[in-house]
Structure 1
């Protein structure tokens, strides 16, 4: 009984951590082609998105979508994305661990 209680308490303690990790968004493949599914870009000149601030990612994605940032490839990719999908992408990438200092 005591072991069961301890195990249950450990699971309850871990729930907030699990709840904070968002599910991969449905539009992830759109971004992952260049930025990587985990936000670590392999293409030269493509920024890493992992670990960026949520509010920053949301704002920048809206700017690309609305044309306030004039980058044609981003406008084409993010143009048809709804506010909910944009939010899911921003949440996903902000929740990913940032690139370590030793990686390119």
Structure 2
């Protein structure tokens, strides 16, 4: 039975609900001005990012940075940020819980 208990703990630890929260990104400040630190929009027209799919957020941020999405405000806000920084931001926002 100890083996089954260990397996259960491994499964629970790997599930999103029990996974460790990602560290707060160093570049969160400018994003939080519009999207909120926890991913809930602070201004009208800004989308909520909390709980969005990680792969979607990661790709959207790359597209804004690279100019493939034509949004000058987002491109200016992101600036020349690295893939690692974009990944950190995407992980942060995807791990946040949407609020009603």
Question: When the two structures are superposed, what TM-score results if normalisation uses the length of structure 1?
Answer: 0.77
- Structure 2 residue 23 is matched with structure 1 residue 27: no
The size of the alignment, in residue pairs, is 87
Q: Which runs of 5+ in 1 are unaligned?
A: 1-12
> Quick one: distance in 2 between partners of 1:45 and 1:78?
18
Larger radius of gyration: 1
- Structure 2 residue 66 is matched with structure 1 residue 66: yes
Q: Which runs of 5+ in 2 are unaligned?
A: 1-8
User: After the TM superposition, which segments of 4 or more aligned residues of structure 1 sit over 6 Å from their partners?
Assistant: none
How far does residue 20 in structure 1 lie from its aligned partner after superposition?
A: 2.7
> Quick one: distance in 2 between partners of 1:64 and 1:20?
28
> Which residue of 1 is the match for residue 78 of structure 2?
78
How far does residue 80 in structure 1 lie from its aligned partner after superposition?
A: 1.6
What SS does structure 1 have at the residue aligned with 2:63?
Answer: helix
Question: When the two structures are superposed, what TM-score results if normalisation uses the length of structure 2?
Answer: 0.80
Q: What RMSD over aligned residues (CA atoms) do the two structures have, in Å?
A: 1.7
